[in-house]
Amino acid sequence: MKEPASHANPPVDGSELIRFDHVTKRFGSNTVLDGLDFSVDAGKHVTLIGPSGSGKTTILRLLMTLVKPDEGTITVAGDQLFPASEKQVREVRKKIGMVFQQFNLFPNMKVLRNITEAPVTVLGMSKDEAEQRARELLDLVGLADRCDAYPTQLSGGQQQRVAIARALAMRPQVLLLDEVTSALDPELVAGVLDVLRDIARTTDITMLCVTHEMNFARDISDQVLMFDSGHVIETGPPEKIFGDPEHERTREFLGAVL
């Protein structure tokens, strides 16, 4: 199961990989992020928690350059995202893999092809190499025997595990996970979280994770950011945030979700 640590440009462990400086994002008159500052070091697992509608998905979408900030700067591995040329944006996107709440697999492609498609077309990997890598990743997510299935033949949990394999196939430096178990039937959640625990334990990939699964967050996180009203209101190791939160708002939130 050991995943080789082989990125094109491995970041020095502990160096800053993601940085938000005074980032403000508005939708019309709704200020969703209000001068947000935070950073994530290479190789770390950071979990974002906070109420629904507080802007967590927006943070991930900014990193994917799917939306633009109104103010402030965002850098990934030292490259500023806005403004950036199309070429720079493509380079940054290659460094980032994202898995969403909805699995979004290509329905007309078998599982194996779902995983090999982007490495072949975007990275220029040979079909053989991409398939070999895809089989290793399917093994990692416990689906080595489902290469030839179509997505609709899989459970939601299996589809989400394929989506995780697909994201890893691009050898990203960062994996963004946005409530990846929220759309699953309860009995399928544990299998997906176990795969993510394995990835956190056995790879050097940086993880930025939005989740309401607090036990999972406690297990994998180096750092937890409690987020509300456009700001990080409290941050610390999971023992601190879950065991002895300082902020009243954090206590209320954890009381409601735990």
List residues near ligand ADP by CB under 6 A: 27, 30, 32, 52-58
Minimum CB–partner distance for residue 186 and Mg ion (Å): 19
Eight-state DSSP code of residue 85 = -
| Helix 127-140, helix 186-202: angle, nearest 10 | 120
Q: Is 54 in the site for Mg ion (CB under 5 A)?
A: no
Q: How far apart are CA 248 and CA 234, in angstroms?
A: 10
Q: How far apart are CA 42 and CA 95, in angstroms?
A: 12
Smallest Cα–Cα separation from 44: which of 240, 193, 207?
A: 207
Minimum CB–partner distance for residue 87 and Mg ion (Å): 29
245 within 8 A of 254, measured Cβ to Cβ: yes
H or E element in which residue 76 lies: strand 71-76
CB nearer ligand ADP, residue 55 or residue 236: 55
Minimum CB–partner distance for residue 3 and ligand ADP (Å): 28
- Residue of 54, 57, 160, 221 interacting with Mg ion (CB under 5 A): 57
CB nearer ligand ADP, residue 140 or residue 225: 225
CB nearer ligand ADP, residue 61 or residue 240: 61
Q: How far apart are CA 224 and CA 253, in angstroms?
A: 14
CB nearer ligand ADP, residue 131 or residue 234: 234
Instruction: Find all residues with CB under 8 Å of 66, minimum gap 6, and list them.
Output: none
User: Closest residue to Mg ion, Cβ-based?
Assistant: 57
How many residues contact Mg ion, by CB under 5 A?
2
SS3 of residue 172 by DSSP: coil
Q: Is 58 in the site for Mg ion (CB under 5 A)?
A: no
> What does the chain come to in residues?
258
Minimum CB–partner distance for residue 174 and ligand ADP (Å): 18
- Span interacting with Mg ion, options 19-27, 53-61, 84-92, 195-203, rule CB under 5 A: 53-61
206 within 8 A of 173, measured Cβ to Cβ: yes
Report the interface residues with Mg ion, using CB under 5 A: 56-57
